[in-house]
Amino acid sequence: MHAYGLLAIAIVAEVLATTALKASMSFTRLGPSIIVVVGYGLAFWLLTLVMRTVPVGLAYAIWSGAGIVLVTLLAAFFYRQLPDTPALIGISLIIAGVLVIQLYSNTGGH
């Protein structure tokens, strides 16, 4: 599989694990706790595979940027934790930064 496909799967696994952290109730609920452990394990294993070909800075920028956006969306949906205007502005700046790296930086692997 292509490195960016693996990165996408890693991001989804990390986002699901992070979202399940709250539901695990400090690891006192078995189902969500299993999602956390398996999700993070899968995410980090896949990230190591991605970093064989994708520069670490770029992989992490995409990982963290996408993760922030997706976790924020899931937290709004599942936990009713709605971001305020400054949070939305900050998230937008993170997305812009990832795009600048990907589109214009030599770090992007062009």
pLDDT in tens, the chain (110 residues): 799 999 999 999 999 999 999 999 999 999 999 999 999 999 999 999 999 999 888 898 899 899 999 999 999 999 999 999 999 999 999 889 888 887 888 765 54
For residue 106, what pLDDT is reported? 78
For residue 34, what pLDDT is reported? 98
**Tokens describing residue 75:** 């937290």
Contact call for residues 15 and 67 (beta carbons, < 8 A): yes
Place of tokens 């398996």: 38
For residue 33, what pLDDT is reported? 98
For residue 101, what pLDDT is reported? 82
Contact call for residues 109 and 55 (beta carbons, < 8 A): yes
